[in-house]
Amino acid sequence: MSIKAIIEKFQAELDATQKVADVLNLKAHILGKQGSLSEILKGLKDATPEERKTLGAEANQAKIQIEDLVTAKISAFEAQEINASLLKTKIDFSLRDSIMDKGLRAGGLHPVHIIQREIEDIFVSMGFEVLDGPHIEDEWHNFEALNIPDTHPARDMQDTFWFADKKHLLRTHTSTIQVRGMKERKPPFRFVGPGKVFRCERTDASHEMCFHQLEGMMVGEDVSIGHLIYFMKTLLSEIFKREVEVRLRPGFFPFVEPGFELDIKCLICGGKGCSVCKHVGWVELLPCGMVHPNVLKAGGIDPEKNNGFAFGLGLDRLVMMRYGIDDIRHLHSGDLRFNQQFKTF
């Protein structure tokens, strides 16, 4: 059979195939070892050099043509399959309205998550990664790696929910994400890590047992307090979209040296004093500082060559200041009348 006839026959058989497997069989039949095109190629050894040249080129051309036809046919079958499954799973966009008509309510984001996402976007736009970490931690990640050894009085600072094995705990702060983040990367780097934290403490207008923090860290060869102040100021002006009064005062945390407390003038009472600011006019919002060399070492980073800053933002309190919420317990009440005021869709 001539090459032209082989291709015509192949085209006719290809048109009659019903599925991908048929196409592959057909291809194997023509291009396989015993295939008609392969037979022609084998026959070339008895041809004259002149014939071999033209026939060889024609056969190779035919092989490429057949492969192209096979690929096109398989793509057509796949497209058919996708179209058929799309038809089966048609989405009815009018359904949402009819559900609403029946009195059902659409969900929405919780105000803490609205603010969390906004802050993540702000930091991502400044080159920060967003990291996650487990709620259940061990002592090393929650305390030791953060320069809070067993005997250190700072362990009393945080009342901890311990598991029965006395080795595991519910993380008391998102600083655990610092430790994990450092171990997994080499300087320079910058990241934020938001999440739930847990403390066994008495609740009041500004304290919950389960609340949210957002950790931030930047490490490199020449990171300074100037960087820290710049990023904190940018964060607050983006979130509040207006001038807010802040104050920076010395703060003690074993994992930073020097450490600071950044307080915001209470936006609930305008600084006059209320239950949220415990009648002092300022709300503790953003502890921060330069990372202690021992913490860098625990994270596998050489403190001789690198330094860094870290901060731990109290997300719930930021939400309270932004929306003028006078009691943190509203945020976790699960009361739909409260939650629905923040609905974004």
Long-range pairs of 338-342 with CB within 8 A, sequence gap ≥ 24 = 339/108, 339/110, 339/111, 340/105, 340/108, 342/108, 342/109, 342/110, 342/111, 342/114
66/288 with CB nearer ligand FA5: 288
User: Which residues within the stretch 171-200 sit at the binding site for ligand FA5 (CB under 6 A)?
Assistant: 173, 175, 199
Give the residue at shortest CB distance from ligand FA5.
Answer: 314
Q: Which residue has the tokens 């070492």?
A: 297
Residue 133 near ligand FA5 by CB under 6 A: no
Which residue lies nearer to ligand FA5 by CB, 10 or 143?
143
Question: Does residue 170 bind ligand FA5 (CB under 6 A)?
Answer: no
Q: Which stretches within the chain are classed as H helix?
A: 3-15, 20-31, 36-43, 49-88, 95-101, 111-125, 139-142, 175-184, 225-240, 293-298, 315-323, 336-339
Report the nearest approach of ligand FA5 to the CB of residue 325 (Å): 12
What helix, strand, coil percent values describe the chain, rounded to 5? 45, 20, 35
Rounded distance between C-alpha atoms, residue 16 and residue 28, angstroms: 16
The yes or no reply on residue 287 touching ligand FA5 (CB under 6 A) is: yes
- Shortest Cβ distance from residue 297 to ligand FA5 (Å)? 16
Structure tokens at 13: 């058989």
Of 88-96, 113-121, 124-132, 248-256, the window that binds ligand FA5 (rule: CB under 6 A) is 248-256
Which one of the spans 3-11, 112-120, 161-169, 251-259 is the region binding ligand FA5 (CB under 6 A)? 251-259
Strand partners, 192: 130, 216
Question: Which residue from 37, 182, 285, 321 is in contact with ligand FA5, where contact means CB under 6 A?
Answer: 285
Residues 289-308 that bind ligand FA5 (CB under 6 A): 289
Candidates 232, 317, 319, 331; binder of ligand FA5 (CB under 6 A) is 317
